[in-house]
Structure 1
């Protein structure tokens, strides 16, 4: 008899809400220390709101039960004129945090693919 188990969702592989919260917290810290994007993040009036919206976004976008209550990516980034270098710096910070939390390479690749799919709503809009 063969067992057919459902593969763990991306949400589960990232550690559910608690794991995603730890990852996003490290991502925000990395952004604040990254010379390519630090000024943008230091200028934010409510960095806790940014962090909480990112947690919601990751939870909802990876299959978790938490709703995302923020704006869509295009509305969020419109007028920011984010450069390719800034975009890649943010991606590197996210992938670095995933690696720090021992997220496996396949899962990191899946997250990167999702984030790259949003590039058109973020870059130079």
Structure 2
């Protein structure tokens, strides 16, 4: 299941994060262009697209961020909001979220 329209989705997701007080602090010092390109590539590879993700591992990216379960779940909600905004059908959303859920343990560090 390759989702071909990553760019508008990622842009909507970045907008969601940028306007969210709960999780913005995790991203406030990020290079948005780098994050955008990395997430587009990661999403493409994760959905079995023609891309190969060559960025850092999820563990390397998130180590030291101390992301808790509540904030992780909130970011997932923001991604769902972005997918709704882009009119991505719910079956496709479910497939994307299920692929990303496999990375949860690499992101949440208590």
TM-score by length of 1: 0.82
1:37 CA displacement = 0.8
In structure 2, distance between residues paired with 1:112 and 1:86: 16
- Select the residue among 60, 71, 90 that pairs with 1:86: 71
- Select the residue among 33, 38, 52 that pairs with 2:24: 38
1:29 CA displacement = 1.1
1:80 CA displacement = 1.1
Structure-1 residue corresponding to 2:93: 108
SS at match of 1:115: helix
Question: Does structure 2 conserve the Cα–Cα contact (< 8 Å) formed by 1:32 and 1:39?
Answer: no
1:35 CA displacement = 1.1
Count of aligned positions = 110
Q: CA RMSD in A?
A: 1.2
Q: Which runs of 5+ in 1 are unaligned?
A: 1-9
Q: Does 1:26 align with 2:12?
A: yes
Structure with the greater alpha carbon radius of gyration: 1
Q: Which runs of 5+ in 2 are unaligned?
A: none
Structure-2 residue corresponding to 1:5: none
Structure-1 residue corresponding to 2:41: 56
TM-score by length of 2: 0.92
